[in-house]
Structure 1
Amino acid sequence: MSVSMMWPSAASTPASTLPVKAIPGSYGLPVLGPLKDRLDYFWFQGPETFFRSRMATHKSTVFRTNMPPTFPFFVGVDPRVVAVLDCTSFSALFDLSLVDKRNVLIGDYMPSLQFTGGTRVVVYLDPSEPQHSRAKSFCFDILKRSSRVWTSEFLRNSDALLDTIEKEVSEKGSSGLLVPLQRCIFGFLCKSITGADPSISKEIQDYGFAMLDKWLALQLLPTVKTGAIPQPLEELLLHSFPYPFFLVSGDYRKLYEFVEKEGAEVIELAKSEYGMNQEEAIHNILFVLGFNAFGGFSVFFPSLISAIGTDKSTGLQDRLRTEVRRVLDGGRRSISFETVREMELVRSTVYEVLRLSPPVPLQYGRARTDFELCSHESSFRVAKGELLCGYQPLVMRDPVVFKDPDAFLPDRFAEDKELLKYLFWSNGPETAEPTTGNKQCAAKDHVVATSCMLVAQIFNRFDTFECDDSGLSITKLQRAATATEEVRTGD
């Protein structure tokens, strides 16, 4: 019996037939409890062990715990959450009759609105708020308009990325991924989303990606384990206080003025069709560009390249290369949204990396009312106002749903497409569609297709490549003997 056939019996069990239990776990003593959990999360255990150990202790995928950031300098932030770590309980986060999504993007902590010019941008809005519909509709419109250049801009920028990597591997023996990859991502997204060509400004072209990195980092550092500096310095310097906007205000102003000057067509669309003023429009555009798109791709693309580049013994690269070149018919067809739909193994590989390494690991929602929360085996009473927290890298390794849940199995979604309804990386099931009435990523389909195009671009040009053990550098490339020097682009 397949896993997907086993699953419905658990998912469809009526709540009334499940035993009702008190939610296990506790928050500990004031100050000391949150501090201990914070140190475990960032230092002594790390996020995955933090959740796994508590699941084992409580023998439950639903339990109470504290989540960073915590005291003493995060005044008014409540660290108490109800963790939901299986596919059934986690799905409550998508039921907007049960949960409210306002201001909970990264938990009870919300960075200063100065980072977005005083504007509550779309990701902080609940669908019940009138401005959510117009802001998300604007996002859909941006994506629709971007279709004119999305593929060609991505292929042009990714071709430059591969040129850089190939040259560095040839000259130095290895090439770091992050900087050239972020240049590629920033270049194609800037043109596609804002309509602005970053080459118009040398400063934006050369450093725009770094400006966004700093802007993102200051908002997220209190909630993210980095490993960039040793403990206890990371705790003392990175996780102990919120960062002020003035540290990046100059860079943000340059990005704002660039979009204001060069993205006039998209700004006018926001004003004329969606009732936004100019400042509101630009801050929403910058957030979509910087946080949703640039930030998401910057996290996911390295995971995707690393997963393929460190898989050296299963024959995956040979199979991917064969599929890509078969579909592209020796260069007679172009890489496009349409052709990558035919690359079943490429798409399944992308889905599998999204399952194991979702770009946004944590999802939150606040109980809109008292309700019964179901896991596979039990039911729990959640009180209005309680904050639910799901850690997706564990949710999407739910052993009730996924066979060999910790294994990287590129064929998983090609062999069992029913599993797509448990792929939640986009703040909703992969089988669902984003609408103005939900919080699912507006660019869900673009992310998958663009990731497939990256894989296709690599294997249209190279036979094989290898990453180092960290997955952050490419150490070997073998150019295809018949690879075309120029990749034909789609419409």
Structure 2
Amino acid sequence: MVPSFRPPATRPIPGSYGLPVLGPLRDRLDYFWFQGAEEFFRHRAAEHKSTVFRANIPPTFPFFLGVDPRVVAVVDADSFTALFDPALVDKRDVLIGPYSPGVGFTGGTRVGVYLDTEEPDHARTKAFVIDLLRRGARTWAAEFRSAVDDMLATVEADLNKADSAPASASYLLPLQKCIFRFLCKALVGADPAADSLVDRFGLFILDLWLGLQLLPTQKVGAIPQPLEELLLHSFPMPSFAIKPGYDLLYRFVEKHGAGAVSIGEKEHGIDRKDAINNILFVLGFNAFGGFSVFLPFLISEVGKAGRDGLRLRLREEVRRVLGDGGDVGFTAVREMPLARSTVYEVLRMQPPVPLQFGRARRDFVLRSHGAAYEVSKGELLCGYQPLAMRDPAVFDRPDEFVPERFLGNNGEKLLQYVYWSNGPETGEPTIGNKQCAAKEVVVATACMLLAELFRRYDDFECEGTSFTKLEKRQLTTPTPS
């Protein structure tokens, strides 16, 4: 007789929220100061002997602002998948947690990423973004290569004139300029050079716009305590501070990105104002913000001292695929498995968006590696990706950077546990889910950056966000017979 399978019995979710005011305050101080985000989740998982537990997540605003910091934290690969199931969770206004910056930052529009899949406008705005990416794919690689040219020329010049010993040159600002200019051209179809103010100040406007929205959820560290907690983490930041800059970018998209705007209006039935605000959010938050966080991680990880063996292998792969004069593009990077695996590993170790949220649409059972927990309708789930994607039940040597981790058949099977895009890497973005529409483009662009570096340089090294060495490629000349 074959024994029937019995699912594990449910048990209460461990942990508590503590006393009113004091419990959230204690968790907030642990999260920002005493432990830091990663240790905050690690410590509680170890304390409760569970990868699912209750905690308070910053920001913990005064109760009259209507933000409830109580969450059910999930930090393993198994339970994390519930956050991607539209049947289980509602994604309405929970992009960055229980706190939402408000529509003042987006020109009065509730943009697509704040919409739940059951809201009527979600499908049309997601389809609009997918169409923008398809349109941009025609020029994406060429615009990226051109912007990288300018970036590396700037870095080389800074490195050559550096007086410090050893010489170094920061790549952060040149990289941000590269990202901003190529995204405007490829995604919006507008050249920042057409507006001198946008060309000079556009990326700084986006930095400030992003910062004001995210500030209550981030540790700054440059302001003495208790001022940071009182001034930056206790109240939402005002949108009026960035309105003049946002209006400048709005007019730029309206005038110079008319082709992109018309796609939203004519093909998806989106109001002109809402189309422009959605374009600006995708440009500024998703694309510019995401690349500004992720690409520095990628460069610094590959460029670390002691990783010359990895760089040698990447250089050989890039030059084998490109030959002497080939251009880097979407087709070429698909033939670079080590570069792709390296990109996936950086995304696994340091996802650009560490937290994912979803509110329980109904009562359901959350399963986690043999355990099961009852989640009640309305509870907010908070997934911490850096731990979920280092789950020792899934990944060997989970806390080590292993660039070849995703090579071969076994490596490809692990991609189902790479969740950086608000869904598994093996999934597909559709109008019915919340997975990042640019999932494939992000990976390809990161591979293009690696390919451009190794096409130009025999080797490079980084310390933090600065290049300390750029060893230009030595082209061999044929020996006369």
- How high is the TM-score relative to the length of structure 2? 0.95
TM-score by length of 1: 0.93
Q: How does 1:65-144 map to 2 (within 5 A)?
A: 65-72=55-62, 75-144=65-134
5+ long unaligned stretches in structure 2: none
- Give the Å deviation of 1:17: 2.0
Q: After the TM superposition, which residues 160-175 of structure 1 pair with which residues of structure 2 at under 5 Å, given as runs?
A: 160-172=150-162, 173-175=167-169
Who is 1:355 aligned against?
348
- Check if 1:395 corresponds to 2:385: no
CA distance in 2, matches of 1:342, 1:313: 22
RMSD: 1.5
Contact 2:24 2:57 in 1 (8 A): yes
Separation of aligned partners in 2, 1:427 and 1:225: 23
Residue 413 of structure 2 corresponds to 418
Report whether the alignment pairs 1:383 with 2:376.
Answer: yes
Partner of 1:203: 197
CA–CA separation in structure 2 for the residues paired with 1:337 and 1:91: 29
C-alpha spacing 1:74/1:454, structure 2 compared with 1 (3 Å): farther
Deviation at 1:474, TM superposition (A): 1.1
Please say if 1:40 is aligned against 2:35: no
SS, match of residue 381 in structure 1: strand
Q: Per the alignment, in what secondary structure is the counterpart of residue 151 of structure 1? A: helix
Is 1:341 aligned to 2:341, yes or no? Answer: no
CA contact (8 A) 1:19 1:377 kept: no
Amino acid across the alignment from 2:442: V
Q: CA deviation at 1:230?
A: 4.5
- Deviation by residue 1:84-136 (Cα, 9 ceiling, x = unmatched): 11011000001111111111001111012111111110000111111000000
* Structure 2 equivalent of residue 273 of structure 1: 267
Aligned-pair CA distance for 1:178 = 1.5
1:9: which partner in 2? none
CA contact (8 A) 2:458 2:471 kept: yes
Is the partner of 1:465 in helix, strand or coil? Answer: strand
**CA shift for structure 1 position 226:** 3.2
Q: Out of 410-419 and 298-307, give the one that drifted further.
A: 410-419
Stretch moving more, 231-240 or 214-223: 231-240
Distance in 1, Cα, partners of 2:155 & 2:251: 32
> Offset of 1:467 from its aligned partner?
1.1
What's 1:457 paired with? Answer: 452
TM-fit CA distance, 1:366: 0.3
Give the structure 1 partner of residue 303 of structure 2: 309
Structure 1 residues 249 and 229, CA, compared in 2 at 3 Å: closer, same or farther?
same
Per-residue deviation, residues 352-407 of structure 1 (Å, max 9, x unmatched):
00000001000000000000000102100000000000000110000000000000
1:408 partnered with 2:407: no
Partner of residue 365, structure 2:
372
Is contact 2:147–2:179 with CA below 8 Å preserved after alignment? yes
Q: Which residue of 1 aligns with 2:289?
A: 295
Matched, 1:54 2:44: yes
Whole-angstrom CA distance in 2 between matches of 1:228 and 1:430: 36
Aligned counterparts of 1:346 and 1:278: Cα–Cα separation in 2: 40
- SS of residue in 2 equivalent to 1:17: coil
Q: Which consecutive unaligned segments of at least 5 residues does structure 1 have?
A: 1-12, 485-491
Partner SS for 1:330: coil
Contact preservation (8 Å) 1:80, 1:387: yes
Kindly provide the amino acid, as one letter, of the partner of residue 306 in structure 1: S
User: What does the per-residue CA deviation read over 1:202-249, in whole Å, with 9 as the maximum and x for residues that have no partner?
Assistant: 111111000000001000010112334454443233212111011111
- Matched residues in 2 for 1:417 and 1:271: separation? 40
Instruction: Give how far 1:183 is off.
Output: 0.3
Letter in 1 for 2:168: S
User: Which stretch of the first structure deviates more once superposed, 212-221 or 305-314?
Assistant: 305-314
Q: Which amino acid aligns with 1:302?
A: P
Amino acid at match of 1:393: P
How far does the alpha carbon of each residue in 1:414-436 deviate from its partner, in whole angstroms, 9 at most, with x for none?
Answer: 14110000000000000010000
Amino acid paired to 1:153: E
- 1:277 CA drift (Å): 1.4
Name the counterpart of 2:12.
Answer: 22
- 1:432 is aligned to 427
- Report what 2:235 is aligned to: 241
Over the matched positions of the two proteins, sequence identity in percent amounts to: 61
**Does the CA-based 8 Å contact 1:461-1:483 persist in structure 2?**
no
Instruction: Find runs of 4+ consecutive structure 1 residues off by over 6 angstroms.
Output: none
SS in 2 for 1:390: strand
State the Cα distance separating 1:472 from its structure 2 match. Answer: 1.2
Counterpart of 1:181 (choices 164, 175, 187) is: 175
User: 1:78 & 1:256 partners in 2: Cα distance?
Assistant: 33
State how many pairs are aligned: 468
* Cα 1:259–1:483 shift into 2, 3 Å: farther
Q: Quick one: which amino acid aligns to residue 383 of structure 1?
A: S
State the alpha-carbon separation in 2 of the partners of residues 237 and 371 from structure 1.
38
Distance 2:109 2:97 in 1: 19
Q: What secondary structure sits across from 2:451 in the alignment?
A: helix
Aligned to 1:322: 316
Q: Quote the Cα distance in structure 1 between the aligned partners of 2:49 and 2:68.
A: 25
Q: Deviations over 1:57-86 (max 9, x none)?
A: 000000000001103277100000000110
SS of equivalent to 1:83 = strand
Q: Higher mean Cα deviation, 441-450 or 412-421?
A: 412-421
Q: What letter corresponds to residue 34 of structure 2 in structure 1?
A: F
Secondary structure of 1:104's aligned partner: coil
Q: How much has 1:19 moved relative to structure 2?
A: 3.1
Q: Deviations over 1:11-45 (max 9, x none)?
A: xx97x421311000000001110010000000111
For 2:236, give the aligned amino acid: P
Aligned position for 2:436: 441
Q: CA deviation at 1:342?
A: 0.5
1:224 aligns with 2:238: no
One-letter code aligned to 2:99: Y
Structure 1 447/483 Cα, relative in aligned 2: closer, same or farther at 3 Å? farther
Asked if 1:262 is matched to 2:256, the reply is: yes
- Indicate which of 52, 58, 64 corresponds to 2:54: 64
How far did residue 330 of structure 1 move? 1.9
**Aligned residue type for 1:413:** F
Shift of 1:276: 1.3
Identify the residue that residue 488 of structure 1 maps to in structure 2: none
Q: Distance in 1 between matches of 2:304 and 2:47?
A: 34
